[in-house]
Amino acid sequence: MKGGETSSGGGGQDDSSTAVSSRKNKKPKYSRFTQQELPACKPILTPGWVISSFIFVGIVFIPIGLASLFASEHVVEIVERYDKDCIPPDYRNNSLHYIQTSETNKTCTRTFHVPKHMKGPVFIYYELDNFYQNHRRYVKSRSDKQLRSKASEATTGTCKPEAVTSNGQPIVPCGLVAWSLFNDTYSFSIKNEALNVSKKDIAWKSDQEHKFGSDVYPKNFQSGSFIGGGKLNSSIPLSEQVDLIVWMRTAALPNFRKLYGKIERDLEANSTITVIIQNNYNTYGFGGKKKLVLSTTSWIGGKNNFLGKAYLTIGGLCLFLAVCFIFVYVLKPRPLGDPSYLSWNRNPGEHVN
């Protein structure tokens, strides 16, 4: 009820309403947009389209799958589980004690066989299983600010329960992630000739340059009563602590590998490699497995046939579907857009009210 000024007039108001109309014609302006008539493409799933797109997908996917499988098969991978075997028989029933005391000798020598020629660089990984680096408590327990700059040394609020020492000094780097740093070491030799393990470029450059400060030095690290893992040389800035940087890029899945180093040379087939392992890291407490992995690489990454198989499956399925559709289309075609298929034409009278 807004008085008279908004009403568009009734019978007795002709004067005002025509005056209004001459002043302001409310007719909507024509444009293809407002009339919803924008030029548009209206694709329809015709049998031809569907069959040819399936064939296309099949033709694209099967070669990709084959290429992936091929690449994956060409990766030479040596996986050596050593967590059990590296425990001396006396301690087999008390592996926890073995790993926790400093009195025992943790050195363990293993040898393995190179099945095929491994072209350099050969990547050395350690693989942990059943280790939840993605646990909520764990991934949150770090301070990215502290890692980055010296000024934020004291920002350890998110690092509990490994934030400060018992006398209140901030731990650098703080948090469970750093505290549990993996500290097994490996040294390799072939026929008594030591293999040089390069640590160059094993960490992301971006992490080294921007995430881990070059002026941040480890402090009070692993100084508590309860040691979680490796120690750090406090004279080396965090940006150079590549093992820490690799470790702190927490793994997505409970079964993961981390890059330990590279052997910058080829390994001949059938050669035997001796590795001396310092078995320091405690995975016995939670039944985790430790493996040492030597692997070459390919464009597809490591040895993993899954993707190749997946592509072959999808491609094969598409070709199969294409054949099925061709078959069905030949047997039982339907003319597209035939009005006699409309429901009210099929059984007349149903909709005529």
Partner 1 sequence: MDSQNPCEGEISLNQWKGGNSVREVRHGSRGGDLEMLGLSQKEIGDDDARLVYLNEPVKSNERYEFSGNSIRTSKYSAFSFLPRNLFRQFHRVAYIYFLIIAVLNQLPQLAVFGRGASIMPLAFVLSVTAVKDAYEDWRRHRSDRVENNRLAWVLVDDQFQQKKWKDIQVGEIIRIQTNETLPCDMVLLSTSEPTGVAYVQTVNLDGESNLKTRYAKQETLPRIPEKEMINGLIKCERPNRNIYGFQANMEIEGKRLSLGPSNILLRGCELKNTAWAIGVAVYCGRETKAMLNSSGASSKRSQLETLMNFETIILSVFLIVLCSIVSICAAVWLRRRRDELDILPFYRRKDFAHGDPKDFNYYGWGLEIFFTFLMSVIVFQIMIPISLYISMELVRVGQAYFMIRDMILYDEDSNSRFQCRSLNINEDLGQIKYVFSDKTGTLTENKMEFQRASIWGVDYSDGRTSSQNDPVQGSKIDGKILQPKMKVKVDPQLLELSRRGKDTKGAKNVHDFFLALAACNTIVPLVVDDRLDSTVKLLDYQGESPDEQALAYAAAAYGFMLTERTSGHIIISIQGERQRFNVLGLHEFDSDRKRMSVILGCPDKTVKVFVKGADTSMFSVIDRSLNTNIIHATEAHLQTYSSMGLRTLVIGIRELNNSEFEQWHLEFEAASTAIIGRAALLRKVASNVENSLTILGASAIEDKLQQGVPEAIESLRTAGIKVWVLTGDKQETAISIGYSSKLLTSKMTSIIINSNSKESSRKSLEDALVASKKLMIVSGTTHNTGPSDEAAVNPVALIIDGTSLVYILDSELEEQLFELASRCSVVLCCRVAPLQKAGIVSLVKNRTRDMTLSIGDGANDVSMIQMADVGVGISGREGQQAVMASDFAMGQFRFLVPLLLVHGHWNYQRMGYMILYNFYRNAVFVLILFWYVLFTSFSLTTAITEWSSMLYSIIYTALPTIVVGILDKDLSRRTLLKYPQLYGAGHRREAYNSKLFWLTMIDTLWQSVAVFFIPLYAYWASTIDGSSIGDLWTLAVVILVNLHLAMDIIRWSWISHAVIWGSIIATFICVIIIDSVPIFAGYWAIFHVAKTELFWLCLLAIVAAALIPRFVVKFLYQYYSPCDIQIAREAEKFGSPRESPNTKIETNPILGSPHG
Q: Which of residues 11-40 bind partner 1 (CB under 8 A)?
A: 11-13, 15, 17, 20-21, 25-28, 30, 34-36, 38-40
Cβ-count burial of 307 within 10 angstroms (0-12 exposed, 13-18 middle, 19+ buried)? Answer: middle
Is position 57 an interface residue for partner 1 (rule: CB under 8 A)? yes
User: What is the CA 234 to chain-centroid distance, rounded?
Assistant: 31
Is position 339 an interface residue for partner 1 (rule: CB under 8 A)? yes
CA proximity to 72, closest of 295, 238, 233 = 295
Is position 184 an interface residue for partner 1 (rule: CB under 8 A)? no
Q: Which of residues 138-167 bind partner 1 (CB under 8 A)?
A: 138-139, 142, 144-145, 148, 160-166
Is position 321 an interface residue for partner 1 (rule: CB under 8 A)? yes
What type of residue sits at position 87?
I
Question: For strand 185-190 and strand 193-195, is the pairing parallel, antiparallel, or unpaired?
Answer: antiparallel
In this structure, what are the phi and psi dihedrals at residue 264, rounded to the nearest 5 degrees? Answer: -85, 45
Choose between 224 and 240: whose C-beta lies nearer to partner 1: 224
- Which one among 1, 89, 105, 331 touches partner 1, defined by CB under 8 A? 1
Q: How far is the CB of 268 from partner 1 (least distance, A)?
A: 26
Choose between 89 and 348: whose C-beta lies nearer to partner 1: 348
Q: Which of residues 246-275 bind partner 1 (CB under 8 A)?
A: 249-259
Is position 137 an interface residue for partner 1 (rule: CB under 8 A)? yes
Is position 191 an interface residue for partner 1 (rule: CB under 8 A)? no
Is position 102 an interface residue for partner 1 (rule: CB under 8 A)? no
Which range binds partner 1 by CB under 8 A, 81-89, 102-110, 186-194, 338-346? 338-346
Alpha-carbon distances, residue 214 vs 125, 199, 290, 294 (angstroms): 26, 18, 31, 31
Is position 353 an interface residue for partner 1 (rule: CB under 8 A)? yes
Choose between 190 and 314: whose C-beta lies nearer to partner 1: 314
- Which one among 102, 105, 331, 349 touches partner 1, defined by CB under 8 A? 349
Choose between 276 and 302: whose C-beta lies nearer to partner 1: 302
What is the four-CA torsion angle of 123, 247, 243, 183, rounded to 10 degrees?
Answer: -100
Cβ atoms of residues 277 and 108 within 8 Å: yes
Is position 316 an interface residue for partner 1 (rule: CB under 8 A)? no
User: What is the CA 198 to chain-centroid distance, rounded?
Assistant: 25
Choose between 89 and 168: whose C-beta lies nearer to partner 1: 168
Alpha-carbon distances, residue 59 vs 46, 56, 311, 313 (angstroms): 20, 5, 11, 12
Kindly give, in sequence order, each residue whose CB lies less than 8 Å from that of residue 214, ignoring residues fewer than 6 positions away.
237, 238, 239, 240
- HSE (CB half, 13 Å, CA atoms) of 245? 25
Is position 3 an interface residue for partner 1 (rule: CB under 8 A)? yes
Q: Which of residues 284-313 bind partner 1 (CB under 8 A)?
A: 285-286, 299-302, 304, 306-307, 310-311
Is position 174 an interface residue for partner 1 (rule: CB under 8 A)? no
